[in-house]
Chain A
């Protein structure tokens, strides 16, 4: 069995590109249908989401619990069935002919008949009543090769803040950086999140699913989750004997990016049954991007990431160890280097020529190097009569080095040529204990505690102390419960957090060491409901609060922010921000139309922001820099997200999306800076389930319109926000069945008209246009070297 398959895989890579015929004719007109039944009482279950993983195929059971998925190609698939309050069912099925199956879902501790089930998911208890949007399967495939921030930009309600073309940070409902939280494989990502030019240190290729929780989520994840949470989730390790994986290849003409990422994973059987592993690695390299009319000098990047995990799982317990390393060098656009505000204005007004050195992969000085290591160990006990107990420990080390455009001046004898101007090292240890209790009188929920400690060090050239060093300790306890019956889900939770932090800084004048200390106490709560009016129509609403302590940068920064030529001054008396978030959404899903309409209001008390001090300058040897102070006000963010799909015909669908954010300073009744402009998108897609041997063939075209942001505070910026712009995109894609696997190939074009534009959320809008037209080729090759024998009926 093994050797033949091995050979089949070995020829995959070559055959896909050159094949004129296929080894076997694949039937793509098969179907899987059946009924979903509650294992506890034998009743059928409506509204169960049933889908085949890594395909776009998914349906919901009708009121009789029936479902049917058609036009499936021959092959083996991960079938997933999930319903709130029930354990998710995930099983491998072989489809060689039309199949009718029964799926049993159990409300608590699992185990199933009919189809062999292994639903021991380490299922993170999230907040169900806050809207969550996921990108997986074909949608995730479309984002391959992009960084995490850009990969999320297709979601309504999510924007991206850029510092140049290659540094991107996600923005959820207008909030970003320390006001959102990123969970990397279940661990809160801790880097130098406060900086606009500090992108998340995560390789999106580790994930098979990217999700965004749009709304306050401090109740489960602790401080900082004011705007929302980004979840980067790898798939579970394989359960049954197998060896396989996936290869992704991406190329882009603009920047001449090439990227390869591979996964090899497997599980052992017999005496080593329960042991499984995954190895993953990514290499990404790009050179100078081209904006309309000129190259953006020194905008290349070089990224090398890898991760590995080993798991051991038995009936009553499991252990997983995961390690990942992220390593990137990112060039900073040469034209963005200005010494002082006078030069910044000259650059913006076009008085300073754009220095175009053509294309190069070389990354010159004016770059940042970021290394992030994460080690995670987790263990759990289950099927012991009380639910599931799990413990997770993680240690991460983030090292960020920023090399300025030139080597700092020094006296003889000291070689600083390889020394960064700014060096940060943050080591974070986190631990979590979680008890997901058994279902009891329609109640499910979890009780947990988490702990965190961090040590941060700074070394600088040209600065004595941009930010102080610090050590902190924190902890939280929480309980979240859900009551689910028929059409209604009710959810409530409470949490308490404590944080202690001490800084170590030296006074520039007295040269004495100062160790100011802060303590924060915070209680958070959430209350939400989902009402399923009909199988097609549901509404949900949530009220929750969230908080965050001021970052050490906001408390103590004293220095020039190079990107924006401002002199920023922290305030050591800043208090914690507290947010009260109200959100509601309605969801309608029929054969013709799917629509999700969400609205939210987020009051943020003690909102920390940078306030200009007009006419007030700090003078030093480089020039005069306008002073900006960190201040607090009360802010109100509100907005609407629209995400819809309209199936006009069997083949043609329209996908409109809108993201609208409005923000106000409640104390001055003015506006806030850097609030995302509105965004409207429309995509038309024509899709064939199969054409000859090819499946999932599509061709699409889309447009995006971003109006000018006019709601900006006066005197807060050097230049007015950029004008409105429109961009066109198009794509084409298909799947080729080869050796029971589907190879996905797509070509995508962005900014087709090569429009010269600047974006308000890009800090480099002062210096240059956004990148011009680009085409991307993406190839996804799954492979199986050893296939498991599916235990099924």
Chain B
């Protein structure tokens, strides 16, 4: 070996170091030997509160709940029931919650922040047999402003029973007030009974 041998080795070593440093970025902050952490963004609960416009003490609520939304367990729909009076106008508000957290987290705020991209759609066609008309009463900040649907008027007429399907559509850059564009973010059903 010549006396230059150490120089060659030094050059090789420094190149190796450079390459190695490149590959060593910030250290792992997550642990392999533990389960994945509980994620954000779960939706477990949709709650409807209906206040009789002329008699505010007449308040009805219904709750659709699935505490394991990422599991195969079916949702609990036993409380997803609204019994409304005929020929009445209700002021309705919708709450969306993550009840896997203690205390439960209000998800709806985030939807209001992104209201310009979101719209609630209600499906109560005649085939579903409910005499219920729904108008959205809140507006976003689009120009011109478009309805959102967190606040609504439910207007009942003749007694009937059926299913109310509530769909939240996500419409980034394509919201136009209709339910045609975008994609479904939420789709739950409430049984509605309009009493005599």
Docked complex Cα distance between A223 and B105 (Å): 45
Known: A312-B8, A340-B184, A343-B183. A620 touches B69 (CB 8 A): yes
Contacts of B172 in A (CB 8 A): 364-365, 405-406
Instruction: Tell whether B20 is near chain A: CB-to-CB under 8 Å.
Output: yes
Q: Which residues in chain B, 80-130, are within 8 Å of chain A measured between CB atoms?
A: 96, 98, 100-101, 105-107, 109-111, 114, 117
> How many whole Å from A365's CB to the nearest CB in chain B?
8
Count residues on chain B whose CB falls below 8 Å from chain A CBs: 63
Tell me the minimal C-beta distance from A15 to chain B in angstroms.
34
- Give chain B interface residues in 1-45, CB to chain A under 8 Å: 2, 4, 7-8, 11-12, 15-16, 19-20, 22-23, 25, 28, 30-44
Chain A nearest Cβ from B7, distance in angstroms: 8
B36 touches A323 (CB 8 A): no
Quote the shortest CB–CB distance from A409 to chain B (angstroms).
4
Chain B CB within 8 A of A509 CB: yes
Given contacts A312-B12, A340-B187, A375-B20, contact A409 B111 (CB under 8 A): yes
Asked if A508 and B40 make an inter-chain contact with CB atoms under 8 angstroms apart, the answer reads: no
B96 to chain A, nearest CB (A): 7
Cβ distance B169 to chain A, nearest Cβ, rounded Å? 8
Tell me the nearest residue of chain A to B42, going by C-beta.
A462
Closest to A325 in B: B22
> What is the bound-complex CA distance between A618 and B46, given in angstroms?
18
**Nearest-neighbor residue (CB-CB) of A340 within chain B:** B184
A375 cross-chain contacts in B, Cβ below 8 A? 19-20, 23
Q: Which residue of B lies closest to A559 (CB)?
A: B70
User: Could you tell me the distance between the alpha carbons of A411 and B103 in the complex, rounded to whole angstroms?
Assistant: 11
- Kindly list chain B residues whose C-beta atoms are within 8 Å of the C-beta of A558: 70-72
Q: Are A405 and B170 in contact (CB under 8 A)?
A: yes
Interface SS majority for chain B: loop
Cβ of A465 under 8 Å from chain B: yes
Which of chain B's residues have a CB closer than 8 A to the CB of A408? Answer: 40-41
Residue interface bits A455-469, CB-to-B below 8 A is 1, else 0: 111111111111111
**A469 and B32 in contact, given A339-B183, A463-B39 (Cβ under 8 angstroms):** yes
Query: A residues within 8 A CB of B37?
Result: 459
B66 at the interface (CB under 8 A from A): yes
Closest chain A residue, CB of each to CB of B65: A621
A364, A416, A419, A460: residue with the most chain B Cβ atoms closer than 10 Å: A460
Q: Are A622 and B187 in contact (CB-based, < 8 A)?
A: yes
Are B22 and A323 touching (Cβ within 8 A)? yes
Q: How far is the CB of A110 from the nearest CB of chain B, in Å? A: 23
Nearest CB in chain B to that of A399: its residue: B25
In the complex, are the beta carbons of B72 and A508 less than 8 A apart? no
User: Contact: B28 with A425, CB < 8 Å?
Assistant: yes
State the Cβ distance, B106 to closest chain A Cβ, in Å.
6
Interface contact B39-A621, CB-CB below 8 Å: no
Residue A195 is within 8 A (CB to CB) of chain B in the complex: no
User: Which residues on the A side are within 8 Å of B180 (C-beta)?
Assistant: 352-353
- Given the known interface contacts A353-B180, A558-B70, the answer about A464 and B15 at a Cβ–Cβ threshold of 8 Å is no
CA distance A411 to B95 in the complex (A): 12
Q: How far is the CA of A90 from the CA of B180 in the complex (A)?
A: 65
- Cα separation A560 to B195 with both chains bound (whole Å): 39
A464 to B181, CA, bound (A): 30
Measured CA separation A462–B36 after assembly (Å):
13
Q: Which of A227-235, A270-278, A661-669 contacts B (4 or more CB under 8 A)?
A: A270-278
In the bound complex, CA of A395 to CA of B24 (Å) = 11
A622 to B189, CA, bound (A): 11
Q: Closest B-chain residue to A355, C-beta based? A: B174
Is the pair B106, A323 in contact by a Cβ cutoff of 8 Å?
no
Q: Which of A409, A414, A425 meets B96, CB within 8 Å?
A: A409
Whether the pair B70, A463 counts as a contact (CB closer than 8 A) is yes
When the two chains form their complex, are residues B30 and A461 in contact, meaning their CB atoms are under 8 A apart?
A: no
Q: Which chain B residues lie closer than 8 Å to A514 at the CB level? A: 35
* In the assembled complex, B68 has its CB within 8 A of some CB on chain A: yes
Per-residue 0/1 for A435-475: is the Cβ within 8 Å of any B Cβ (1 yes, 0 no)? 00000000000000000000111111111111111110000
B35 touches A513 (CB 8 A): yes
Q: Does B133 contact A (CB under 8 A)?
A: no
Residue A377 at the chain B interface, CB threshold 8 Å: yes
Partner of B33, one of A504, A559, A618: A504
Chain B nearest Cβ from A524, distance in angstroms: 29
- Least CB distance from A315 to B in Å reads 12
Which B residues touch A460, using CB under 8 A? 36, 39
Q: Can you list 23 pairs linking A and B with CB atoms under 8 Å apart?
A: A271-B7, A322-B19, A339-B184, A342-B184, A353-B181, A364-B172, A397-B23, A405-B170, A406-B185, A409-B41, A411-B105, A411-B106, A425-B30, A459-B39, A461-B41, A463-B70, A469-B32, A469-B34, A469-B35, A504-B34, A559-B70, A621-B188, A623-B187
